[in-house]
Amino acid sequence: MSDSSGVTATVPSTTPGMTTTSASSGGLKGTTSEFLKLFMAQLQQQDPFNPTTNSDMVAQLAQMSATEAQQTTNAQLGEILGAQQSEASAGLSSLIGRNCNATAGSFGISSEGGSPPPLEITAAAATKGASVTITDANGKVIRKLPIADGTTSTSIQWDGKDDKGNAVPAGNYKIKIDGGTGGTPTAAWQGAVQSVELTADGPRLRMGDVLIAPSDVTTIGSNTTTAAASATSLARKITSVLNGAKS
């Protein structure tokens, strides 16, 4: 700032009792060294006729200590949360190979042209004029599958294509039931869980080419691999007994 004589006066960038910080409100940023640099600059630039009081300095140091403690706590909580998520994802591996039913609501298609599992449609009373509507993430209808009138229980296979016969691209989709009249049907995926996928949206269960949230699972059945092995073992035992009887 210049006066009428052309002499330029410098105004101190800090004032007593105020702390300068580069952190945005609501965020915990900066380091101890940055704080100490700002603290020393404040002491050097303070008004000698109105210096910073001891209580002001103690309050600022206490604030920095509290901020450091909060940063440490946040980091530790993040590590605990990560460990819990990893443990939960590992626990989901027990579903691999099991036949499951899952509510057909929001789901993902992992690759274009994939084959979704069948949809099991059930209703308390015979339906009329009902259909399965599949929409994309923006709510645009891409396919409608009619439900036969008089249905109380049926299976519908969606081929992963839109109304024009084109394979839908990978992405997020939704299924809803247009009830029509009569009983209000519900839809559920039915199939074996092939893998657990760790996606940006959290862990997802792969059923066919559909990715579903673990919370959508309503029924957990037998392990298909174990059942097949048991059936094979039983068949071998029966064959061995029959061959022994013949001899």
- Per-residue pLDDT tens digits for 118-127: 899 888 888 8
Backbone angles phi, psi at 79, to 5 degrees: -65, -40
For the beta carbon of residue 2, count every other beta carbon within 10 angstroms: 8
Backbone angles phi, psi at 130, to 5 degrees: -90, 160
pLDDT higher at 8 or 108:
108
Nearest 5°: CA angle at 42, between 40 and 43? 65
pLDDT band (50, 70, 90) for residue 129: confident
Mean pLDDT of 36-49: 77
Beta strands in 76-124, from DSSP E residues, in sequence order? 98-103, 106-109, 119-122
pLDDT at 88: 61
pLDDT higher at 69 or 107:
107
d(CA 127, CA 180): 7
Domains of the chain: residue spans and CATH = 1-81 (no CATH), 96-224 (2.60.40.4070)
Q: Name which of 57, 64, 58 is nearest 32 in CA terms.
A: 64
pLDDT at 143: 92
Q: In the chain, how many H helices and how many E strands?
A: 3, 13
d(CA 92, CA 196): 7
Mean pLDDT of 33-46: 77
Quick check: pTM over 0.75? no
Tell me the average pLDDT of the chain: 75
